[in-house]
Amino acid sequence: MQTIGIALLGVGTVGSAVARTLQEKGDELARQTGLQLVVRWGMARHPERVIAAGLPEQAATTSLDPILEDPNVVVIVEALGGEEPAATYMKRALQAGKHVVTANKEALSKHFAELVAVAREQQRALLFEASVGAGIPLMASLRQLLSVNRVERIRGIVNGTTNFILTLMAEEGVPYHDALREAQRLGYAEPDPTADVEGLDAAYKLSILASLAAGRHLHPDRIDRRGITSVTPDQILDARTRGGAVKLIAEALRKDEEWELRVHPIFVPGSDLLAHVRLNLNAIELTCDRVGTVVLYGPGAGPAPTAAALLADVIDAVRFGPALLPEVEVAR
Give 84's DSSP letter: T
CATH 3.30.360.10 residue ranges for the chain: 138-299
Per the annotation, the verdict on 205 as an active-site residue is: yes
Count of CB atoms situated within 10 Å of the CB of 97: 13
HEC assignment per residue over 109-170: HHCHHHHHHHHHHHCCCEECHHHCCCCCCHHHHHHHHHCCCCEEEEEEECCHHHHHHHHHHH
Q: Could you list the pLDDT tens digit for every one of the 332 residues in the chain?
A: 899 999 999 999 899 999 999 999 999 999 999 999 999 999 999 999 999 999 999 999 999 999 999 999 999 999 999 999 999 999 999 999 999 999 999 999 999 999 999 999 999 999 999 999 988 999 999 999 999 999 999 999 999 999 999 999 999 999 999 999 999 988 888 889 999 999 999 999 999 999 999 999 999 999 999 999 999 999 999 999 999 999 999 999 999 889 999 999 999 999 999 999 999 999 999 999 999 999 999 988 788 899 999 999 999 999 999 999 998 875 44
In this prediction, residue 190 carries a pLDDT of 83
Single out the catalytic residue among 98, 105, 110, 205: 205
- Rounded to whole angstroms, the maximal C-alpha distance in the chain is 62
In this prediction, residue 263 carries a pLDDT of 98
Q: Which of 161, 143, 175, 133 is nearest to 296 (CA)?
A: 133
Confirm or reject CATH 3.40.50.720 for domain 2-134+304-324, answering yes or no.
Answer: yes
Confirm or reject CATH 3.30.360.10 for domain 138-299, answering yes or no.
Answer: yes
| Contact between 16 and 49 (Cβ < 8 Å) | yes
In this prediction, residue 189 carries a pLDDT of 85
CATH 3.40.50.720 residue ranges for the chain: 2-134+304-324
In this prediction, residue 332 carries a pLDDT of 43
- 66 cis-preceded (ω within 30 degrees of 0): no
Whole-angstrom Cα distance, residue 193 to residue 200?
10
